[in-house]
Amino acid sequence: MRDSDYSHPNHLLAALMAAGSEQLLSGVEMVSLKFGDVLYESESRIRYAYFPTTSIVSLVYMMEDGATDEIAAVGNEGIIGVPIFMGSETTPSRAVVRCAGCAFRVKGHLILDEFNQSTAVQQLLLRYTQSLFAQVSQTAACNRHHSVHQQLCRWLLSSLDRLPSNELKITHESIAGMLGVRRESVSKEAAELQTAGLIHNGRGRITVVDRRRLEARACECYRGIKREFGRLLNPIAPSYSTVDGQVAPQRQVPPPRTSPAPAQWGATV
pLDDT digits 0-9 by tens, 253-263 = 444 444 433 33
Q: Are 93 and 41 in contact (CB under 8 A)?
A: no
Alpha-carbon distance of 139 to 71, in angstroms, equals: 6
Domain boundaries, the chain: 1-118+237-269
Are 211 and 157 contacting, i.e. CB atoms less than 8 angstroms apart? yes
Distance between CA 161 and CA 226 in Å, rounded? 9
Average pLDDT value for residue range 179-189: 93
Quick one: what percent of the chain has pLDDT higher than 90? Answer: 54
Question: Any idea which fold 1-118+237-269 has?
Answer: Jelly Rolls (2.60.120)
Secondary structure (DSSP) of 120-155:
HHHHHHHHHHHHHHHHHHHHHHHHHHS-HHHHHHHH
CA separation for the pair 227, 131 (Å, rounded):
10
pLDDT classification of 267: cutoffs 50, 70, 90: very low
pLDDT at 179 over 70: yes
**Hey, what's the torsion of the CAs at 94, 96, 102, 106, to 10 degrees?**
10
What residues form DSSP beta bridges with 208? 199
pLDDT in tens, 64-101: 777 778 899 999 999 999 999 998 878 888 999 999 99
Give the side-chain half-sphere CA count within 13 A for 93. 19
Q: What is the pLDDT, as a whole number, of residue 7?
A: 60
- Average pLDDT of the chain, as a whole number: 82
CA 104/CA 111 separation, integer angstroms: 13
CA 181 to chain centre: 21
β 199-202/101-107 pair status: unpaired
Would you tell me how many other CB atoms lie within 10 Å of the CB of residue 129?
A: 17
Spell out the residues 6+ positions from residue 18 whose beta carbon is closer than 8 angstroms to its own.
Answer: 237, 238, 239, 251
Is residue 1 helix, strand or coil?
coil
In the prediction, which pLDDT does 247 show? Answer: 38
Say what the pLDDT of residue 265 is: 28
Q: What is d(CA 240, CA 18) in angstroms, rounded to the nearest whole number?
A: 10
- Span 32-56, pLDDT tens digits: 999 999 999 988 889 999 999 999 9
Determine contact, residues 254/9, Cβ cutoff 8 Å: no
Which helix (H) or strand (E) is 179 found in, with range? Answer: helix 172-179
Check residue 234 and give left, alpha or beta (phi > 0: left; psi -120 to 50: alpha): alpha
Span 125-131, average pLDDT? 93
